[in-house]
Amino acid sequence: MEINLAVLDRQFELHQTEYEQAALRALRSGWYVLGNEVENFEKEFAKYLGAKFCVGVNSGLDALTLAVRALNIGEGDEVIVQANTFIATVLAITENHATPIFVEPDEFYNIDAEKIESAITPKTKAIMVVHLYGQATNMKKICRLAEKYNLKIIEDCAQSHGAKFQNKMTGTFGIGCFSFYSTKNLGAFGDGGAVVTDDENFAEKIKMLRNYGSKIKYHNEIAGVNSRLDEIQAALLRVKLSHLDELNEERKKIAARYLNEIKNPSIILPKIREGSTHVWHQFVVRVKNRDDFQKYLEQNGIKTVIHYPIPPHLADCYKNLNHRRGDFPVAEKFADEVLSLPMFNAMTAEEIDFVIDVINKF
């Protein structure tokens, strides 16, 4: 049996007719940029989250970058971020010429809320939280710190569509930044992203920034960019959003089988924090001899991916930050040990059986 990490055509096939009708509706409308589909998707996604405003942009990275920019965070400012994230989280900070201040992750792979306070300096402007792999971060402590030190909270929700902390959606504790890249839980059929906020002025600012910095065409108030969610993607996302809860439920069922049935003492299974929900963007295990384990799975037809092999502080592009191996030992250990198992919608019971069986024989 051959099993990939994610098989996206199956997700399309689950609701194929609806996607085809939505795409045709957008194609036949004659209006392809910032029209009804984007406007309706923005309303529907804001409503789903329990937020007031949603602004569609071109990608998750753009959502994060524009959020940092709209907060006027730049040169000389510091942004606290977890050391075990995807590079895009950090790029959004450095693209704005601000400095990322890394903090170690906790056992749930989220930022360790206990280690944030000692990283705060007079230059700190924001805490960037990543609900990594789909599990909501412990927001209670972080919201308290943000209030105490007057810091903004930016949430990287690229992997957490629908995940909640204490019954409140991720993306509604601070400024929510979402990616709709195809593999994400709420994935488009191409690129897409959104910024979510309850602050109308902030939403207006993102709307201006995404459209060359103008509210009224050809009246440019700020030097903006072109970063718009396009109509066809928005039409397709409206279909997927209407099924998001059932798609997440299905991922939870796959995760429950892995958690109950993988029984191998050399494999550390993911843990769920009390008060958080997990939407299983990735099912990440840890193994001491990870590279052997990955090779063994590959030989048995099971494809896996490492999220992520090099923590941002050790990336070649950030040599200028002068970090060394040993600076963030927890994040480095995770980078050496993590492995993401196959997890996708419409994965069959036989495929799940097979993955479990092969892993238990390792």
Ligand X SMILES: *Cc1c(COP(=O)(O)O)cnc(C)c1O
Residues that bind ligand X (CB under 6 A): 59-61, 85-86, 88-89, 130, 156, 158-159, 179, 181, 191, 193
253, amino acid identity: K
The Cα-based distances of 333 to 269, 280, 297, 327 in angstroms read 15, 21, 21, 11
DSSP state of 117: G
Least Å distance between CB 308 and ligand X?
9
* Nearest residue (CB) to ligand X, 156 versus 231: 156
**Side-chain half-sphere of 319: how many Cα atoms within 13 Å?**
2
Q: Least distance in Å: CB of 10 to ligand X?
A: 20
Dihedral of the alpha carbons of 32, 35, 40, 43, in degrees to the nearest 10: 120
DSSP 270: P
Q: Give 94 or 179: the residue with its C-beta nearer to ligand X.
A: 179
156 or 337: CB nearest ligand X: 156
- CA–CA separation, 296 vs 233, rounded Å? 38
Closest distance between ligand X and the C-beta of residue 81, in Å?
11
Residue nearest to ligand X (CB): 60
In contact, 339 and 289? CB cutoff 8 Å: no
Using DSSP, how many helices (H) and how many strands (E) does the chain show?
Answer: 11, 14
- Cα 294 from Cα 77, distance rounded (Å): 40
Nearer to ligand X, 126 or 356 (CB): 126
Least Å distance between CB 159 and ligand X? Answer: 5
Name the residue nearer to ligand X (CB basis): 283 or 354.
283
**Min dist. Cβ of residue 314 to ligand X (A):** 17
Shorter beta-carbon distance to ligand X: residue 171 or 352: 171
Structure tokens at 59: 């990608």
Quote the least distance from Cβ 312 to ligand X, whole Å: 11
